[in-house]
């Protein structure tokens, strides 16, 4: 029972203090899940994150589900998922009930402008950290660059890129195994 509560509480804390979605959550996930709790290694977390990004749904929710399931089965997956979603649900309901009254307040607009910049910095840090751990050789560097260009400039769907990159990885690395 303690493990279930710990999963819910840990992911609820992350859900409460993560602004900017799944990408901004990765540094907090790393600290809590890898460093503090030991529920996954950094490599496992990156794998969960990659799978969570390429499956339907929200990255943070998918990743929480994977980690909860790995550590406490189906119930753990459900509780981790509920934990990460619960704070957002409560906050969104509160904001929705008040937004029309405060959206024109200049200080609220300034606050959101500051939050957007901070989230952008968190996402950049996350991408940099993931790239340092994932771009390991010329092939992975090429996949990184092609993916960036394909998604960023040609608007190719990330799903197609992830599938293609996985096949390239399998083909290129099969001789090394």
pLDDT score for 9 = 94
Residue 79 phi/psi, 5-degree rounding, is -70, -40
Convert the pLDDT of each residue in 138-168 to its tens digit.
999 999 999 999 999 998 988 889 899 989 9
pTM of the complete model beyond 0.75: no
pLDDT score for 153 = 94
**In 30-173, which ranges are continuous DSSP H helix?**
42-54, 59-102, 106-134, 138-152, 158-173
pLDDT score for 175 = 67
Q: Where are the domains of the chain?
A: 2-99
Nearest to 88 by CA among 171, 13, 168: 13
Structure tokens at 102: 């405060």
DSSP state of 104: T
Q: Mean pLDDT over residues 23-30, rounded? A: 79
**CA–CA separation, 103 vs 101, rounded Å?**
6
Tell me: pLDDT of 24 over 90: no
**CA–CA separation, 125 vs 57, rounded Å?**
23
Structure tokens at 65: 């589900």
Convert the pLDDT of each residue in 57-116 to its tens digit.
788 888 889 999 999 999 999 999 999 999 888 988 988 888 777 778 888 889 888 988
């Amino acid at each position: 029972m303690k493990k279930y509560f710990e999963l819910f509480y840990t992911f609820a804390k992350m859900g409460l203090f993560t602004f900017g979605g799944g990408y901004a959550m990765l540094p907090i996930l790393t600290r809590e899940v890898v460093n503090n709790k030991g529920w996954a290694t950094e490599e496992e977390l990156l794998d969960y994150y990659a799978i969570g990004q390429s499956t339907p749904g929200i990255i943070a929710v998918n990743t929480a589900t994977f980690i909860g399931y790995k550590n406490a089965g189906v119930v753990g997956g459900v509780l981790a998922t509920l934990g990460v979603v619960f704070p957002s649900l409560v906050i969104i309901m509160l904001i929705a009930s008040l937004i029309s009254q405060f959206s024109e307040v200049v200080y609220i607009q300034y606050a959101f402008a500051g939050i957007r910049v901070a989230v952008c910095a968190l996402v950049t840090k996350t991408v940099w950290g993931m790239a340092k751990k994932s771009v390991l050789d010329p092939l992975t560097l090429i996949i990184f660059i092609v993916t960036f260009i394909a998604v960023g400039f040609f608007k190719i769907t990330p799903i197609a890129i992830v599938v293609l990159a996985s096949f390239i990885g399998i083909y290129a690395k099969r001789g090394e195994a």
